[in-house]
Structure formats: structure tokens, C-alpha cells
Amino acid sequence: MAGLSGMISPHELLLDAMFFMKSSPPSFCPEGRTGDIDAILDVMDKAKEFIDISVMSYLPMWEFSPKPIFWNDIDAKLRERALNGHVKVRLLTGYWKHTHEATAGFLQSLAALNNTRLWT
């Protein structure tokens, strides 16, 4: 546990709980370590009442590639859980002068789903 906060000032955990380490990119994941995307999707799958997400920006595509590449892992899971999972989805995201023009469409389509609320 000493490496969680740093070797100089480790945190002592006294919890009646379980946790696991996750990391990203895949090159930082030793054998047996869960990757970020798998951990995020697993938490969303296990949600019973709500999924609350706060992000600086929301764009389920690669913004800096020569051609747009749809990256729908999280977006598809949010839609699935809002429609089929009977959980409330709330998303708080920034909307900046430099925000990609496609962002509004993705957010509006999420907002059209039942059990979904968005704040920008």
C-alpha cells in the first residue's frame, strides 16, 4: 500500500471495503491489472440507482485524428444504462470556446433519453 500516495507519505486505509488498482494506457497495466476503460464500464454496469459523471469535456470521438473516429465505449454504456438499466444518468461537463462543434449534438442526443440530465 505504500506506493498509493507516495513512498514518503503513504496513506493508511482502515476500511470495511474492497478496492482495486486500475491504470491507463495499457502499457502501464502489468499482468492482472484492470485498465481504465474496463474499470469505468464495470462501475457503470453495477450502478443500481444513478451514474454521475463530471468531465472537463465530453466528446465520444478522437478529436485530434486525421479522420473522425467514433469512440463509443462510455457513450454507449451511458445510453444502455439510461434506457435499459433504469438508472438516472447525470453528466456535468464544460462547454468552452474551443469545444469541438460535434459536442452539442452528442450532448443533446444524451439529454433526449429518459433518466438523463446534463449540465454545462
- Residue 45 pLDDT: 94
Domain span at 74: 22-119
Would you call 80 helix, strand, or coil by DSSP?
Answer: helix
Q: Is 30 part of a structural domain of the chain?
A: yes
Q: Is 12 part of a structural domain of the chain?
A: no
Q: Is 63 part of a structural domain of the chain?
A: yes
Residue 8 CB burial class (10 angstroms; 0-12, 13-18, ≥19): exposed
Q: Is 4 part of a structural domain of the chain?
A: no
User: pTM of the full predicted structure?
Assistant: 0.73
Better-predicted residue by pLDDT, 51 or 10:
51
- Residue 9 pLDDT: 66
41-91 residue pLDDT tens: 999 999 999 999 998 888 888 878 888 888 889 999 999 998 887 888 988
Q: Is 5 part of a structural domain of the chain?
A: no
Instruction: Give me the number of domains the chain comprises.
Output: 1
Cell of 57: 469535456
94-117 residue pLDDT tens: 888 988 888 888 888 888 886 666
